[in-house]
Amino acid sequence: MEADYVIVGAGSAGCAMAYRLSEAGASVIVVEHGGTDAGPFIQMPGALSYPMNMARYDWGYHSEPEPHLGGRRLATPRGKVIGGSSSINGMVYVRGHARDFDHWAESGADGWGYADVLPYFKRMETWHDGGHGGDPDWRGRTGPLHVSRGRRDNPLVGAFVEAGRQAGYEVSDDYNGEKQEGFGPMEATIWRGRRWSAANAYLRPALKRKNCTLVRGLARKVVIEEGRARGVEIERRGGVEVIAARREVILAASSINSPKLLMLSGVGPAEELRRHGIAVLADRPGVGANLQDHLEVYMQYAARQPITLYRYWNLLGKARVGAQWLFTGAGPGASNQFESAAFIRSRAGIEYPDIQYHFLPIAVRYDGKAAAEGHGFQAHVGPMRSRSRGSVTLRSAEPGDAPVIRFNYMSHDSDWEEFRACVRLTREIFAQDAFAPHVRHEIQPGAACDSDDEIDDFIRAHAESAYHPCGTARMGRRDDPMAVVDPQARVIGVEGLRLADSSVFPRITNGNLNGPSIMVGEKAADHILGREPLARANEVPWIHPAWRVAQR
């Protein structure tokens, strides 16, 4: 089997590239180890807690014991299914802040500043405002990815935004438009009541073309001969075969599996490769380094009124929600229930938001276990730009073995300061008049948890990953020894090999990573095709005029 381009990974970026490369007339083979995304657990937005906890759809990775979180091993779900993690995520859609991408460009990712990437965000989306306002001039109307807003008919959803306003924060009609900072409606990759994953948006239309093929198998390594990638060695049907690439091999296997594949192929830190008996074809110490993530805590409150989603949290309730969605595509099952959001700054002197909120009108964990106290609600809150850095390394030279994942969470003093601010600022928001009819008491961490040491203990015991790993093959200039890919997504040191997924982020973006990962695939496709990038945008994002002296 051979094609012009062989893409490893049918995730957010891989599906976008398959769509754009096949649209241009090139032949494409997409290699994906996971299976079908058919069935209600993936397609029904309200069932989001199921797929990320199902071995059928998830690689099942865990971090090594985290030294600053009491030795806990944190779950690190990655999608093992067509659509990749866009098929098992929470469907929240965030572009990131303009300054995130300007920082990328300043770090050596030339041509990836906000003015460069905004046209790709517009190209990829069809935006539906749902009658809740927004910034039409900043949004796309004709792209494959549908972005929508929930019905926002639960009173708690509006109370969260009003509480933010009462606390003195900005209100933003569209955090993906001119002004990220503030409280407002959350956006999601949901369309007509279904999860609008990269598989639905990009891969299915691409596979309708004769020049795009999906091959199911486990990628073992990139075949590199005389310094050039020639194809991909895969395991399938009990055997090993090579899929040849006439032009290029493209890795898009996630920030966990892409660096693993590079190392198995002989591209990575020389010492690490030799330790596993792998011949060093390109010594790139940045492969697997620079691992970043968002960590968050769930601030949970008991509700005064029985208006939360807990009323569906029983066998009969779930059956009714499922049946309503199955037959009508509507009801609570048609929403991910993250319908209000906020981005704020933790203190004066920070130029743009460094804290994100997801509001949820039920007190529940990501694994689907509800709070013991019944009716409640919660805010997921955490810092956006931790200084902590981790790594992905090999466990062995066996392709079937899980890599070693060390996030090194909370390894900087600033992480603890930022997290304490998250807890205290959240309490202030829920103490506003807008929540007076709704808050009975704080469930987690609880009113008794008040001193720095007590809050630190709570964080150590309860902080969870927001599942946004990135940065493990960062983009930079070719003379940067820690860069892995150049600004055209070419792997430095190997011809005919590209990498485009969240691995290439020089620094983590503000918010959830599915949107920027798809954008990376969209923009990389133009580089792969040798096209001129889209014309730079002229829009100027909003920055709080008093950011130097005021926190809000």
pLDDT for the residue numbered 52: 87
Bridge partners for 391 per DSSP: 406
* Residue-wise pLDDT tens digits, 281-320: 999 999 999 999 999 999 999 999 999 999 998 889 999 9
In a domain, 129, yes or no: no
Same domain, 92 and 233: yes
Q: Please tell me the predicted confidence (pLDDT) of residue 189.
A: 98
Per-residue pLDDT, 49: 87
- Location of structure tokens 């009714």: 320
**HSE on the CB side for 339, CA within 13 Å?**
25
Q: Are residues 208 and 95 in the same domain?
A: yes
Residues 416 and 479 in one domain: no
Report yes or no on 406 lying in a domain: no
Same domain as 107, residue 17? yes
| Residue 453 CB neighbour total at 10 angstroms | 9
Cα angle value 507/513/519 (rounded, 5°): 90
CA separation, residue 424 to residues 324, 417, 446 (Å): 40, 11, 12
Within this chain, do residues 269 and 376 fall inside the same structural domain, yes or no?
A: no
Question: In 62-126, which residue ranges form alpha helices assigned H by DSSP?
Answer: 98-106, 114-124
Is 504 annotated to bind ligand? no
- The percentage of the chain sitting over the pLDDT mark of 70, rounded to a whole number, equals 99
Our measurement of the distance from residue 388's CA atom to the centroid of its chain's CA atoms, rounded to an integer in Å, reads: 18
Residue 364's pLDDT is what?
87
Look at residue 131 and tell me whether its pLDDT is greater than 80.
no
**What's the CA gap between 258 and 264, in Å, rounded?**
10
Distance CA 62, CA 552 (A): 37
Q: Note if the pTM is more than 0.95.
A: yes
Out of 33, 97, 375, 468, the active site residue is 468
SS3 content of the chain, % helix, strand, coil (to 5): 30, 25, 45
Confidence (pLDDT) at 246: 98
* Average pLDDT of the residues of the chain: 96
Beta partners for residue 490, in sequence order: 498
Q: 303 and 285 in one domain?
A: no
Local confidence band at 133 (pLDDT 50, 70, 90 cut-offs): confident
Asked if pLDDT for residue 370 goes beyond 90, the answer is: no
State the CATH number of the domain containing residue 341: 3.30.410.40
Phi-psi region of 406 (alpha: psi -120 to 50; beta: other; left: phi over 0): beta
In a domain, 104, yes or no: yes
Structural domain count of the chain: 2
Two tokens at 289? 């380094």
- Strands 376-383 and 355-360 come out as antiparallel
Q: Is the same domain home to 416 and 478?
A: no
Assess whether pLDDT exceeds 90 at residue 459: yes
Q: Tell me, yes or no, whether 195 lies in a domain.
A: no
d(CA 8, CA 258): 9
Distance between CA 534 and CA 258 in Å, rounded?
Answer: 27
pLDDT surpasses 80 at 277:
yes
Cis peptide bond N-terminal to 269, omega within 30:
no
Do residues 503 and 258 lie in contact, with contact meaning Cβ atoms separated by under 8 Å? yes
pLDDT surpassing 80 at residue 195: yes
Assess whether 286 and 302 both reside in one domain: no
- In this prediction, residue 214 carries a pLDDT of 98
* Proportion of the chain above pLDDT 90, given as a percent: 95
Q: What pLDDT band is residue 135 in, cutting at 50, 70 and 90?
A: confident
Q: Whole-angstrom Cα distance, residue 62 to residue 74?
A: 5
pLDDT digits (tens, 9 = 90+) for 210-257: 999 999 999 999 999 999 999 999 999 999 999 999 999 999 999 999
pLDDT at 107 over 90: yes
Is 81 assigned to a binding site? yes
Report the distance separating Cα 539 and Cα 176, nearest Å. 13
- Mean pLDDT on 193-208: 98
Catalytic residue status for 132 = no
Asked whether residue 251 is domain-assigned, the answer is: yes
Among 259-273, 333-347, 359-373, 473-487, where is mean pLDDT lowest?
Answer: 359-373
DSSP labels, 304-363: SSS-SGGGG-SHHHHHHHHHHHHHHS-SGGGS-S--EEEEE-SSTT-SS--EEEEEESS-
Query: Which are the contacts of 314, defined by CB distance < 8 A and separation ≥ 6?
Result: none
Residue 185 CA to residue 182 CA, distance in Å, equals: 10
Note whether 472 and 444 are same-domain residues. Answer: no
Task: Give domain status of residue 389, yes or no.
Answer: no
Residue 176, in any domain of the structure: yes
Q: 180: Cβ–Cβ under 8 A, 6 or more apart, which residues?
A: 97, 98, 172, 343, 352, 353, 510, 541, 542
pLDDT at 373 over 90: no
pLDDT recorded at residue 129: 83
Q: Would you list the DSSP string of 237-253? A: TTEEEEEEEEEEEEE-S
pLDDT at 365 over 90: no
Instruction: Report pLDDT for 343.
Output: 98
Q: Which domain holds residue 225?
A: 1-120+204-291+468-532
Distance CA 522, CA 524 (A): 6
130-162: burial string, b at 16+ Cβ within 10 Å, e else: eebebbeebbbeebbbbbbbbebebebbebbbb
**Cα 290 to Cα 471: distance, rounded to the nearest angstrom:** 5
Do 458 and 473 sit in the same domain of this protein? no
- 213 & 239 share domain: yes
Contact at 8 Å (CB) between 518 and 145? yes
Taking the chain, what is the end-to-end CA distance rounded to the nearest angstrom? 58
Q: Tell me the CATH number at 64.
A: 3.50.50.60
Are 255 and 407 within 8 A, CB to CB? no
How many CA atoms are closer than 13 Å to the CA of 182, on its beta-carbon side? 19
> Known binder of ligand: residue 89?
yes
Q: Does the pLDDT at position 516 exceed 80?
A: yes
**Reported confidence tier of residue 464, pLDDT bands at 50, 70, 90:** very high
Per-residue pLDDT, averaged over 450-463, amounts to: 97
Query: pLDDT, tens digit, for every residue of 39-67?
Result: 889 999 999 989 988 999 999 999 999 99
200 is in an annotated binding site: no
Does the annotation list 92 as a binding residue?
yes
Contact at 8 Å (CB) between 152 and 340?
A: yes
- Residues 156 and 36 occupy one common structural domain: no
Residue showing tokens 């492969």: 287
515 located within any domain: yes
Say which DSSP state 129 is in: -
Q: Is the pLDDT of residue 193 over 80?
A: yes
Q: Identify the pLDDT of residue 134.
A: 84
Q: Return the minimum-mean-pLDDT range out of 49-58, 137-146, 364-373.
A: 364-373
Residue type, 60: G
